Structures are given as structure tokens and as C-alpha cells.
Amino acid sequence: ELPVTPGNGRCLSLTEREQIQDLRRAGESVRGIGRMLGRPASTISRELARNTAGDLGYLPHAAHRLAAGRRLRPKTAKLAVPGR
């Protein structure tokens, strides 16, 4: 199971994603949502563009799962490998 809040505050939390969905359905603008969440409008715009699925609209739980998958590194960090 994914954590509800990120560790460093850089990434959107599941709670913020749910608020984005609610505010969007209420007809709030991207800038308005950003203002309410204390995030740049560009962050909200990218989030909606990246995770809106056609007729289904924006799904916060699916968006959170996809974001967690995108955060994973595809290879082991160099400092994690034993050696010189």
C-alpha cells in the first residue's frame, strides 16, 4: 500500500490529489486549485494533463499509484553497489 503523504513534500500527496479532483468537479480553475493547495498552477496543470483518462476524468488513486511507479529508479544507484 502506498503512503498517503510523501516524505519530503515535493510530490503531491493522495489527499492533495483527492482535493484536486473535488475542486475540478466543482468547476475551480487550475490557478484557483493551485492557490488553495499552496502549489504552483503549473504543478496542477501537469498533474491533470498527465493523469486524466478520457471519459473517466481525473482519478486521484490511480494517479497516485502511477506517480509512485514513476518515482522508482530504473537502476541501482552507484553508491549502493559494493566496490571502490
pLDDT above 70 (res 3): no
Angle between helices 60-71 and 14-25 (to 10 degrees): 140
Residue range 37-68, pLDDT digits in tens: 999 999 999 999 999 988 889 999 999 999 98
What pLDDT score does 8 carry?
Answer: 54
The number of distinct structural domains making up the chain is: 1
Please indicate, yes or no, if residue 19 is contained in any of the structural domains.
Answer: yes
Within-domain flag for 5: no
Is residue 4 a part of any domain in this protein? no
Task: Transcribe 2-45 into DSSP letters.
Answer: --SS-SSSSSPPHHHHHHHHHHHHTT--HHHHHHHHTS-HHHHH
Which triple of cell numbers denotes residue 64? 497516485
pLDDT for the residue numbered 78: 81
Per the structure, the complete domain to which residue 18 belongs is given by 14-72
Task: Name the residue type at position 26.
Answer: A
Buried b (16+ CB within 10 A) or exposed e, 18-27: ebbbebbeee
pLDDT at position 4 is: 46
pTM over 0.95, yes/no: no
- Is residue 84, in this structure, part of any structural domain at all? no
